[in-house]
């Protein structure tokens, strides 16, 4: 009889662990043991070692706590015997944590994040099916090196391209048409959290860019329009931020496609590039922010930042 692979299962909270409290709404309630007991078929696939790391709703995560999770996973997966890991997580920020792990984990085994769109007391609770699928994915990927993905609704999405595209559907997650090449690694245990995300919209000006610089931002990601363009009144704010030594990265609010300097009008990508902005390629704004945080945490200078975007 073939031995079952050993899988580390780390519970961090999210909707998969919640129940509805009358008068309050969905709240964290279940620990890892209760959730795992609801999925007995997991034992047929793998020998599971489970741990309760936290009980965080998705919006309660911080970049520093994400880095704590990365350190914990590397420490545990560095021990002999684990074929990979499954991590439960709140779906609101699962794509950011998955991408951070994809960047910084040194472990050469698969790590799959999953969660649920329905609470544990809902008749349509999707947590058990997602958890079972995540374990299957780890077992299937065993021996193929390190990778990080998100398993939701029966589909395994690469960490770099996954995004939540619907607020509540079981098929909320997509990988879109964003490209996933060789895994990029930035092996670091430090992160610079003071990176602001500024959104471009019709008629927007430079106020929020200036505010970010004035209040100590160490980096700024602009959620730009289309191919990577902003209203003309934002352009001077980009110039001022770069002149102050604050890197500005241009990502797009579009669901798919990449940013690049194409348009030459004021606020167009060509003028943003001339102002010193860096283009994020096909990274979403949220993931461009994570990458900039990690790079700044390594002490990367302007030249080093430019060499890592877009990739």
Q: Active-site residue numbers?
A: 15
Q: Are 115 and 15 in contact (CB under 8 A)?
A: yes
Residue in 127, 137, 175, 107 with CA at minimum distance from that of residue 17: 127
For residue 251, give the H/E element and its range.
strand 248-252
Q: How far apart are CA 71 and CA 193, in angstroms?
A: 17
27-48 as b/e: b if 16+ CB within 10 A: ebbbebeebbeebeebeebbeb
Reduced to 3 states, what is the DSSP secondary structure of residue 278? strand
Distances (CA, A) of 86 to 131, 141, 245: 8, 12, 40
Report residue 141 as tokens. Answer: 């990927």
* CA atoms of 178 and 181, how far apart (whole Å): 10
Phi/psi for 225 (5° steps) reads -90, 150
Q: What is the DSSP letter of 253?
A: S
């Amino acid at each position: 009889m073939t031995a079952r692979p050993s899988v580390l299962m780390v519970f961090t909270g999210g909707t998969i662990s919640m129940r509805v409290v009358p008068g309050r709404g969905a709240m964290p309630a279940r620990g890892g043991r209760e959730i795992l007991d609801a999925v007995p078929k997991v034992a047929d696939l793998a020998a599971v070692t489970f741990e309760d790391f936290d009980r965080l709703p998705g919006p309660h995560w911080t970049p520093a706590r994400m880095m704590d999770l990365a350190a914990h996973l590397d420490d545990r997966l560095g021990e002999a015997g684990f074929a990979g890991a499954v991590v439960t997580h709140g779906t609101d920020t699962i794509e950011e944590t998955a991408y951070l792990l994809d960047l910084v984990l040194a472990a050469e085994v698969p790590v799959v994040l999953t969660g649920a769109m329905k609470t544990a007391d809902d008749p349509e609770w999707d947590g058990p099916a997602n958890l079972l699928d995540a374990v299957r994915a780890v077992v299937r990927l065993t021996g193929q090196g390190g990778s990080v993905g998100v398993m939701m609704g029966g589909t395994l999405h690469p960490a770099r391209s996954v995004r939540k595209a619907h607020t509540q559907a079981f098929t909320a997650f997509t990988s879109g048409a964003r490209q996933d090449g060789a895994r990029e690694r930035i092996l670091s245990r430090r992160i610079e959290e003071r990176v602001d995300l500024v959104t471009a919209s019709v008629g927007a000006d430079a106020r929020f860019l200036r505010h970010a610089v004035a209040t100590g931002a160490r980096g700024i990601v602009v959620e730009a329009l289309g191919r990577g363009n902003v209203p003309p009144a934002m352009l001077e704010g980009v110039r001022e931020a770069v002149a102050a030594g604050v890197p500005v990265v241009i990502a797009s609010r579009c669901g798919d496609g990449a940013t690049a300097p194409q348009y030459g009008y004021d606020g167009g990508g060509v003028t943003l590039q001339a102002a010193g902005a860096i283009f994020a390629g096909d990274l979403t704004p949220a993931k461009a922010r994570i990458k900039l945080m990690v790079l700044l945490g390594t002490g990367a200078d302007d030249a080093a930042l430019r060499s890592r975007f877009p990739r």
